[in-house]
Structure 1
Amino acid sequence: MSSFTKASIKIGTITLSLAIIFNFFPVLYLAVIHHVFPSKFITLFVLVASARFVSWIVQPLSYFGVLGTGGTYMSWLSGSVGDIRMPAARMAQKVTGYEGGTPEGDVIATLGV
């Protein structure tokens, strides 16, 4: 495994883990500091999770071939993967002549993202 991939996995895991934790801070703040627990939060979370569960699995797997390791972490952290990040990564690979799934293509996709 190349050093680029190892660094991407390390940095990506840390940043995505922090993003997940920080997304729950507003609810934790309301519950701990103000003793107000938004009762609709659990209902809303279950509703969204059940509706989006399949895409949470399928989309990262289907986009990984083009985005590579670094591009995948960056894309899912920043959002708009299908609309902005994928076309940008693919166009960067096309312009430079590198294919997705190669070490060079992964670096180019990350730069494109």
Structure 2
Amino acid sequence: MPFYLLFAADANIDFGEILTGFLAVFAVCGVFYVVEPLTYFPILGPAGMYQAFMIGNVSNKLLPSAIVAQDAIGAKPGTRKGEYAATAPIPWGSTHDSMRPSLSLRNRPPHSRIPAKMAPDPC
């Protein structure tokens, strides 16, 4: 986008303004780029980190499931047993999210899945 603004668009923006905007955003978001991996690694381990960052939504879904799994079997974070326990629930968290729409359709009555113009008359 910055290259488009500089070279293709007639936006009358110079490189200094683009650099200022980039640095402002990086000052806020760049901290997470460093802090998140450092804080997640002791809990998830290397395999869990790879899976979690490939799937996404680490702090809201995958990290809590890893902590609950470690707690359920009594594993301490940072140990090999803790890494295995943290890696196991991560794929299930993503599978749950991808299966949610199909499961919600399955629990409806059969006639509600048919479009209204094709549904049989309930009377």
TM-score range, shorter chain: 0.5 to 0.7
How far apart in 1 are the matches of 2:4 and 2:77?
A: 44
Please identify the structure whose Cα radius of gyration is greater: 2
Q: Deviations over 1:38-88 (max 9, x none)?
A: 438xx5x93644431111100110111111111111111111111001100
One-letter amino acid of the counterpart of residue 51, structure 1: V
Instruction: Give 1:15-94 correspondences, 5 Å limit.
Output: 38-39=4-5, 43=18, 46=22, 48-94=25-71
1 or 2, which has the higher helix percentage? 1
How far apart in 2 are the matches of 1:51 and 1:82?
A: 18
Runs of 4+ deviating beyond 2 Å: 37-40, 45-51
2:75 to 98, 102, 106: 98
TM-score, length-scaled by structure 1: 0.58
Instruction: Name which structure has the greater RCO, CA cutoff 8 Å, separation 6+.
Output: 1
One-letter amino acid of the counterpart of residue 33, structure 2: W
The gaps in structure 1 that reach 5 residues or longer are 1-26, 28-36
The gaps in structure 2 that reach 5 residues or longer are 7-17, 91-123
Corresponding residue pairs, total? 77
